[in-house]
Amino acid sequence: MEAKIITEPDRQRWNDFVSSSGGSVLQSFEWGELKSESGWEPIRIALGEGSRISAAISVLKKPLPMPGRSLFYAPRGPVVPLENPDLLDGLLEAVREQAVRHKAVALKIDPPVPEGKAVDETLKSRGFIKKKKQVQPRTTYFIDLTMNSDDLLKSFEEKTRYNIRLSAKKGVEVRLENTNKGVEDFYSIYRETASRDNFLIHPKSYYQSIKRILVDRGMASIFLAYHRGIPIAGVYIFNFGDKIWYMYGASRSESRNVMPNHALHWEVIKWAKEKGLRVYDLWGIPSNPREGHPLWGVYRFKKGFRGSLVKYAGVYDLPFDALMYHVSDKGFALLKGAVSLLKKGKISDSLEE
């Protein structure tokens, strides 16, 4: 098989393969474009024969504070069946070739595969090192959108059903707002949420870029909840293949009693079902939830939708230069510093196990 760097002319071919293989929106062509505006360089590597792609990985390259050195990170990658050694090894060999060219110290991955002994052994046998520090949430809930709406609503916890009905009774209205004004209104609410809950968010330009790169291409949507004509809560939803993801959400403090977040997600679910989408990834909960955890409230909210619990394998590093990888706190501080530049909108310990 031949390894090839995928560029703009093959955008659709790349996306078709990744989405049909169950890959994440974080491995889409557009996600690389989005991150390129934050200082990451996307390198999309496909393995296949002719026009057929059999395995792929979208790597984000970030310069490290070391002359000429860089870090490779493949969010929710690679897109390859880990049980196929030939494809996996072929793809990793292509990544190593690019690592030499770009002087990459290591490759960081967090593949969308469930944790397990087989996955761990497969990766470790190829030189990967399992890490404790996560970049993307390792644990999430999947909501089955193939159920009919009545049965789906009945499957939710009683309190969640009550709050959905309460929001409607209180006059909460949810609208799709894929406009510049939608971005402005969402960001205004998000800033208040970040200040209240003490976490960092991207600058407004980032959410404007999401609109331009993903929303305008039909790969993301902005939903806002209104009460008495005033926007009080909002979410950014991403869709790719047959899945949707909830990544960014916000709500105003003084309106939380009318349960706008419950209204938002119920309307998103109905909207997604109408589009024929099959899975709603609620994106992140603590792997070991407990009171006092920074995401305890998030966990309780998402748990109410009674989705299927999914726990991924987590983060693995593949060092290319053992000495440089271990220079700073055996490589951890190096990688942590680079990862922090992602600014995923979570407080520092929100992904702790």
Q: How far apart are CA 3 and CA 30, in angstroms?
A: 21
CATH 3.40.630.30 intervals, the chain: 2-137+312-340, 139-310
Both tokens of 43, joined, read: 């390198």
* The predicted structure's pLDDT at residue 351: 65
Q: CA 126 to CA 130: how far, in whole Å?
A: 12
Q: Can you give the pLDDT at residue 65? A: 83
User: How far, rounded to the nearest angstrom, does the alpha carbon of residue 5 sit from its chain's CA centroid?
Assistant: 23
pLDDT for position 85: 95
Q: What is the share, in percent, of the chain residues with pLDDT greater than 70?
A: 93
Whether the CB-CB separation of 49 and 2 falls below 8 Å is answered with yes
Whether domain 2-137+312-340 has CATH 3.40.630.30 = yes
Residues 6+ apart with CB under 8 A from 352: 286, 293, 294
pLDDT of amino acid 326: 81
Q: Which two tokens stand for residue 74?
A: 């493949």
In the DSSP assignment, the letter for residue 280 is E
Average per-residue pLDDT for the chain: 93
Predicted pLDDT of residue 353: 67
Give the pLDDT of residue 332.
46
In this prediction, residues 311-323 reach a mean pLDDT of: 94
Distances (CA, A) of 240 to 24, 55, 161, 181, 303: 7, 18, 28, 24, 23
The pLDDT assigned to 175 comes to 98
- Whether 248 shows a pLDDT value over 80: the answer reads yes
pTM (2 d.p.): 0.93
The whole-angstrom separation of Cα 40 and Cα 274 is: 35
Question: What CATH architecture does domain 139-310 belong to?
Answer: 3-Layer(aba) Sandwich (3.40)
Least confident of 20-34, 209-223, 316-330: 316-330
Q: Is the pLDDT of residue 103 over 90?
A: yes
Confidence of residue 348 (pLDDT cuts 50, 70, 90): very low
User: What pLDDT is attached to residue 346?
Assistant: 39
What band does 197 get if pLDDT is binned at 50, 70 and 90? confident
Mean pLDDT of 29-39: 97
Q: With 60 as the cut, is the pLDDT of residue 340 above it?
A: no
Q: In 3D, which of 259, 242, 255 has the Cα closest to residue 159?
A: 259
Closest CA to 143 of 25, 285, 254: 285
Inform me whether the pLDDT recorded for 31 exceeds 80.
yes
- 222, 234 in Cβ contact below 8 A? yes
Percent of the chain whose pLDDT exceeds 90? 87
Q: Is the pLDDT of residue 347 over 70?
A: no
Report whether pLDDT(327) > 80.
no
pLDDT in tens, 52-92: 999 999 999 999 888 889 999 999 999 999 999 999 999 99
Is there a contact between 74 and 107 (Cβ–Cβ < 8 Å)? yes
What is the spatial distance between Cα 212 and Cα 210, in angstroms, rounded to a whole number?
A: 6
